[in-house]
């Protein structure tokens, strides 16, 4: 798209056409040969795609396939290098996010974009066009109206969140619900037919929350259209009418959902079939002594009277829905949150003033769910990020530059990080590839004894998830104790030796998978 065309088709013209000449409504969105380059990198290449009205289109693709770039184009964050974009039959150009909102596009990005120092209601009103006018008077907020509107929107996504709460005080999952609520609100705020774009909205949601979202998407379909990006192939098949598969920035398949199986989708995305289940105990080093032991641990408002133990070479999976307290519990074990009662023993000794520094020095690693804010330094290269936590026999300052590069190269290969450029600053990698680098940072440590993983597969495509799980198994088999907060119950059953189920801060069940054979339903029943 040239500059002059862009001027003619500025977003002010983005108002939808009433209908096409032959009477049939034009598609909600048509993209024709869209390309986006970043210097030498072509993130999206000649992409053509149509979204009909009242249709849910799934977009899938392995990490780095170009999905987020496509969504950023649709949300006005990136301008395409070339190609044509039409909304309801009219050419448009989005130069700013407001242009996308004016055209009726509501977006939930993979990385959260809420302002943490503002309240939930203020964040929800931020997109607002007409409703901000109504909600302010002489530049002052009409708080009661703002909060009431926010409460109504939150109720639509089934979220029991106080509109007056400050976003920074909310849990990750609650913030995700606010993001989703904000995107869904676009139809209340604009007169355009909404197109809601969801970029992996369910990756940290539990099943009951996902079910709410699925219901909302079904509602939305009756008033507008939805583009749904997810790595969960079962979910994409359940929710979407059509599925578009991207590889290396291009569309490689565009099929009605009924025509493809999960296996077909996996093959189209990754280029090979899914591997069979690899649960095996052969070659494992399982220690006899408990490495981490927790007794009667309580943190008011989070969890109560929790006890468990993990030995070297074993994986404990903690499952639980929103509010189960498991995230807080994992952070406490790592020394990132305090506790009120009970004790933590590490290698047999009671830990008194436990802190993240002491935990890290003693071979504990914690991979947070929020990699952008907690797990990485975006402006640093991936080599620097990988060697940042290097302690042990050859700490970072002992490794020379060549040593650091060698280490980074080795881990890029092991985790198949793309692009294969260890010098590139980490913020330039796709979300899934950033996650792999954050994992590498901890997995490479030669003193790793305990690995605490909070949703490690979040944002990873199924092929990358397999690669990361393989590396977790390798660390476990070499004698690392793993504490895993799994994304899905299938993952819990696949990876766990022991499973702890939590509900509202209490442990409701424990399973030892060497003797017990719980199903996902058994777990779910104790979670909700
Ligand atoms: N701002 C940028 N500068 C340079 N390269 C970029 C930039 N944004 C994305 N890329 C590159 O473009 C390609 C596509 O990335 P994108 O984030 O769109 O992939 P994705 O399919 O969303 O991946 P994921 O599932 O891992 O989030 C990647 O190679 C990525 O490194």
378 C-beta closer than 6 A to ligand 1: no
Ligand 1: which of 45, 68, 465 to mutate, most ligand atoms within 8 Å of CB?
68
Residue 37 bridge partners (DSSP): 42
Residue extents of the structural domains in the chain = 3-104+190-270, 112-174, 292-527
Q: What is the number of the ligand 1 atom nearest to the C-alpha of 72?
A: 18
* Class of residue 301 by CB neighbours under 10 A (exposed 0-12, middle 13-18, buried 19+): exposed
Q: What is the rounded distance in angstroms from the CA atom of residue 50 to the CA atom of residue 1? A: 18
Q: What is the rounded distance in angstroms from the CA atom of residue 403 to the CA atom of residue 409? A: 10
**Positive/negative CA dihedral, 114, 118, 123, 124:** positive
Residue of the CA atom closest to atom 1 of ligand 1: 428
The rounded Å distance from CA 433 to ligand 1 centre is 9
Residue of the CA atom closest to atom 27 of ligand 1: 431
63 C-beta closer than 6 A to ligand 1: yes
The rounded Å distance from CA 44 to ligand 1 centre is 9
66 C-beta closer than 6 A to ligand 1: yes
Q: What is the rounded distance in angstroms from the CA atom of residue 502 to the CA atom of residue 479? A: 26
158 C-beta closer than 6 A to ligand 1: no
354 C-beta closer than 6 A to ligand 1: no
Q: What is the DSSP letter of 8?
A: H
Q: What is the number of the ligand 1 atom nearest to the C-alpha of 464?
A: 26
The rounded Å distance from CA 216 to ligand 1 centre is 28
Give the per-residue pLDDT at 155. Answer: 81
Q: Looking at domain 3-104+190-270, which CATH architecture does it have?
A: 3-Layer(aba) Sandwich (3.40)
Length of the chain as a residue count? 528
Secondary structure of residue 46 in the 3-state scheme: strand
Of 194, 266, 305, 229, give the one whose Cα is nearest residue 69: 229
Q: What is the rounded distance in angstroms from the CA atom of residue 174 to the CA atom of residue 317? A: 22
Q: Global pTM?
A: 0.65
Of 253, 318, 261, 297, give the one whose Cα is nearest residue 491: 318
Q: What is the number of the ligand 1 atom nearest to the C-alpha of 432?
A: 26
Q: What is the number of the ligand 1 atom nearest to the C-alpha of 110?
A: 27
462 C-beta closer than 6 A to ligand 1: no
- How confident is the prediction along the chain (528 residues), in pLDDT tens digits per residue? 433 334 333 443 444 444 445 567 899 999 999 999 998 889 999 999 999 999 999 999 988 899 989 999 999 999 999 999 999 999 999 999 889 988 888 888 766 678 888 899 988 887 554 444 454 555 556 678 888 888 988 887 677 889 999 988 887 667 877 887 887 777 666 666 788 888 877 665 666 667 777 877 777 787 789 999 988 888 899 999 999 999 989 999 999 999 999 888 988 887 766 555 445 555 677 777 899 999 999 999 999 999 999 999 999 999 998 789 999 999 999 999 999 999 999 999 998 888 988 998 889 999 887 665 555 665 677 777 777 655 444 444 455 678 888 888 998 998 888 888 888 888 888 878 888 888 888 888 777 899 999 988 887 888 888 888 988 998 999 899 999 999 888 889 999 999 999 999 999 999 998 888 888 888 888 887
In this prediction the ipTM stands at 0.95
Residue of the CA atom closest to atom 16 of ligand 1: 66
109 C-beta closer than 6 A to ligand 1: no
Residue pair 350/360 in contact by the 8 Å Cβ criterion: no
Are both 3-104+190-270 and 292-527 of the same fold? yes
Give the per-residue pLDDT at 393. Answer: 41
Residue of the CA atom closest to atom 2 of ligand 1: 428
Q: What is the rounded distance in angstroms from the CA atom of residue 359 to the CA atom of residue 351? A: 10
Going through 172-224 in order, the beta strands assigned E by DSSP cover 195-199
Ligand 1: which of 37, 44, 69, 456 to mutate, most ligand atoms within 8 Å of CB?
69
Residue of the CA atom closest to atom 17 of ligand 1: 430
Query: 292-527: which CATH number, 3.40.50.200, 3.40.50.720, 2.130.10.10, 3.40.50.300?
Result: 3.40.50.300
61 C-beta closer than 6 A to ligand 1: yes
The rounded Å distance from CA 388 to ligand 1 centre is 23
Secondary structure of residue 473 in the 3-state scheme: helix
Q: What is the rounded distance in angstroms from the CA atom of residue 302 to the CA atom of residue 462? A: 32
Secondary structure of residue 326 in the 3-state scheme: helix
Phi, psi at residue 359, to the nearest 5°? Answer: -60, -45
Helix axes 262-270, 462-477, angle to 10 degrees: 80
Q: What is the DSSP letter of 373?
A: I
Give the per-residue pLDDT at 499. Answer: 96
Residue pair 146/121 in contact by the 8 Å Cβ criterion: yes
């Amino acid at each position: 798209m040239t500059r002059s065309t862009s001027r003619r088709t500025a977003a002010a013209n983005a108002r939808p056409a009433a209908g096409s000449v032959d009477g049939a409504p034009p598609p909600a969105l048509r993209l024709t040969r869209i390309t986006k380059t970043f210097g030498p990198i072509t993130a999206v290449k000649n992409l053509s795609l149509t979204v009909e009205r009242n249709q849910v289109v799934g977009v899938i693709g392995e990490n780095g396939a170009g999905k987020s770039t496509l969504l950023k184009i649709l949300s006005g964050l990136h301008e395409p290098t070339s190609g044509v974009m039409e909304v309801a039959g009219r050419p448009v150009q989005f130069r700013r996010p407001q242009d996308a909102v004016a055209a009726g596009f509501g977006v939930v990005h993979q990385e959260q974009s809420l302002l943490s120092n503002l309240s939930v209601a203020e964040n929800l009103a931020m997109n607002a066009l007409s409703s901000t006018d109504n909600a302010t008077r002489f530049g002052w907020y009409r708080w009661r109206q703002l909060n009431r509107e926010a409460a109504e929107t939150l109720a639509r996504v089934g979220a029991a969140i106080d509109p007056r709460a400050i976003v920074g005080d909310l849990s990750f999952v609650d913030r995700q619900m606010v993001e989703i609520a904000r995107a869904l609100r676009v139809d209340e705020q604009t007169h355009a037919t909404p197109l809601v774009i969801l970029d992996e909205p369910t990756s940290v949601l539990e099943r009951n929350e996902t079910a709410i979202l699925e219901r909302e998407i079904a509602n939305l379909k009756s008033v507008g259209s939805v583009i749904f990006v997810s790595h969960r192939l079962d979910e994409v098949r359940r929710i979407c009418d059509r599925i578009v598969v991207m590889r290396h920035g291009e569309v490689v398949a565009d099929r009605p959902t009924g025509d493809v199986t999960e296996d077909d989708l996996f093959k189209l995305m990754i280029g090979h079939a899914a591997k069979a289940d690899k649960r095996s105990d052969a070659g494992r080093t399982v220690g006899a002594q408990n490495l981490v032991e927790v007794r009667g641990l309580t943190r008011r408002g989070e969890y109560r009277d929790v006890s468990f133990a993990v030995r070297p070479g074993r994986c404990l999976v903690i499952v639980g829905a929103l509010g189960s307290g498991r995230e807080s519990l994992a952070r406490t074990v790592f020394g990132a949150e305090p506790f009120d009662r009970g004790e933590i023993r590490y290698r047999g000794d009671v830990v008194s003033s436990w802190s993240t520094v002491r935990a890290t020095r003693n071979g504990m690693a914690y991979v947070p769910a929020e990699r952008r804010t907690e797990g990485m330094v975006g402006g640093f290269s991936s080599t620097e990020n990988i060697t940042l936590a290097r302690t042990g026999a050859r700490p970072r300052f002992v490794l020379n530059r060549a040593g650091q590069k060698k280490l980074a190269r080795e881990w890029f290969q092991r985790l198949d990080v793309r692009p294969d450029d260890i010098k590139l600053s980490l913020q330039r990698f796709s979300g899934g590839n950033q996650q792999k680098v954050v994992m590498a940072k901890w997995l490479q440590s030669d003193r790793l004894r305990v690995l605490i993983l909070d949703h490690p597969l979040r944002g990873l495509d199924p092929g990358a998830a397999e690669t990361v799980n393989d590396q977790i198994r390798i660390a476990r088999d070499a004698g690392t104790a793993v504490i895993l907060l799994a994304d899905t119950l299938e993952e819990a059953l696949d990876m766990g030796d022991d499973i702890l189920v939590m509900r509202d801060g209490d442990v409701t069940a424990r399973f030892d998978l060497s003797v017990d054979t719980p199903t996902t339903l058994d777990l779910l029943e104790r979670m909700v």
